Amino acid sequence: MTLKPKAVLALAAATALSTIASVSFAPAAFAADAPACKTVRMSDPGWTDITSTNALFGVVAEALGYEQKVNTLAVPVTFEGLKIGELDVFLGNWMPVQARFVEPLVASGDMVVVKKNLDGIRFTLAVPKYVADGGVKDFKDLAAHADKFGSKIYSIEAGSAVNQTLTKMVEQGDHGLKGWDIVESSEQGMLGQVKRSEGRDEWIVFPAWEPHPMNTNHELVYLTGGDAEFGPNFGSSSVHTVTRKGFAEDCPNLNKLLTQMTFTVDMENEIMGEILDGGTDPKKAALAYLKAHPDVATPWVAGVTTFDGGDGEAAVKAALGG
């Protein structure tokens, strides 16, 4: 069949319109994540604040079609896992206390600091108020009351950055603490000892931090004088999100989510309280918080798609019952 000139022009015009329409109404392009990114491998050192932020991330990521796998690992093992690519994301890089782990890995390119996800927090040694009232308000006051403390500092899990800091302090005899023992346990084990000591009016010193329900469940006094060990302003700290090398290139969509996720002290305190005091499953506590505060997740998922390229904000809103 031979087309007449007018027919040729009409066909060309129709084809052009069809092309324009297909471009105009095509779904927005998105940076697809590699298939391996569907499962996000993360770590929890056994700290309820990181349990809470992991749960918040998990609720959102699962709504987007991802799967979250969280292993309970000590901090040194966590950073080694990131270095060798066996972990993808860690939401609990406390700085500056973990600087000795982080700085070499960042310098070598084996780990990437994505962003600061929490600010305005404290992390240093603390005592119950009755101990402070008894004369212990500064690191230098500890040694004079060694007998009442049993020359012990109760702390968290072995290998943690804080324990390394305290061990170095004791070995060097800083603040007159030569010969003191660091009693390693876990977050819950340490706080259990605090509760028992308070019940007997016994003296105890231990690392404390916020956000954490310990600040409302116990009448604490943070000690001054620990700037060399924990930094100024009662160990003023920030928490950062870090990833393995190449994560942003492999998983650009998930990485965008991570660059937009930030938390607050009040947010974490509320969720941690539900977990510790209410016995609530972390994911359920995080889901309940996000349902009660529907605007929190909106900026997190701006421009983020589902794993298969769908509308991420709509998927999260639906998961939260919006």
In which band, very low, low, confident or very high, does the pLDDT at 133 lie, cut at 50, 70 and 90?
very high
Same domain, 224 and 205: yes
CATH number at residue 42: 3.40.190.10
Choose one of 212, 235, 258: the last residue of a domain: 235
The pLDDT value given to residue 35? 97
Q: How far apart are CA 291 and CA 312, in angstroms?
A: 16
Per-residue pLDDT, 8: 38
DSSP 70: E
* pLDDT (0 to 100) of residue 30: 56
Asked if residue 230 and residue 127 are part of one domain, the reply reads yes
158, 64: one domain = no
When pLDDT is cut at 50, 70 and 90, the band that residue 4 belongs to is very low
Summarize the confidence of residues 25-52 as an average pLDDT: 83
Domain's final residue, options 185, 214, 235? 235
Statement to judge: residues 111 and 129 lie in one domain: no
Task: Give the residue from 177, 204, 235 where a domain finishes.
Answer: 235
Residue 108 falls within a domain, yes or no? yes
- Residue percentage of the chain with pLDDT more than 90: 83
Residues 114 and 262 in one domain: yes
Provide the pLDDT for residue 16.
41
Judge if 246 and 101 occupy the same domain. yes
The tens digit of pLDDT for each residue in 89-118 reads 999 999 988 999 999 999 999 999 999 999
Q: Is the peptide bond before 27 cis (omega within 30 degrees of 0)?
A: no
Mean pLDDT of the chain: 91
DSSP 27: P
- State the Cα–Cα distance between residues 49 and 93, nearest whole angstrom: 12
Please give the angle made by the CA atoms of 243, 244 and 245, to the nearest 5 degrees: 120
Token pair of 193, please?
């000892």
Name the pairing type of β-strands 67-72 and 220-222.
Answer: unpaired
pLDDT at residue 25 greater than cutoff 80? no
- The pLDDT confidence band at residue 218, using thresholds 50, 70 and 90, is very high
Are residues 115 and 264 located together in one domain of the fold? yes
pLDDT at 21 over 70: no
Do 102 and 152 share a structural domain?
A: no
CA separation, residue 110 to residues 102, 126, 253 (Å)? 10, 35, 20
Total tally of structural domains belonging to the chain: 2
Cβ within 8 Å of residue 74, ≥6 positions away: 45, 157, 158, 159, 160
- Owning domain of residue 70: 35-119+238-319
- The model's pLDDT over 41-80, given as tens digits with 9 standing for 90+, comes to 999 999 999 999 999 999 999 999 999 999 999 999 999 9
Per-residue model confidence (pLDDT) at position 3: 42
- Cα 317 to Cα 294: distance, rounded to the nearest angstrom: 8
Q: Which pLDDT value is given to residue 11?
A: 38
Judge if 150 and 56 occupy the same domain: no
In a domain, 8, yes or no: no
Give, for 220, the enclosing helix (H) or strand (E): strand 220-222
Q: Is residue 29 part of a domain?
A: no
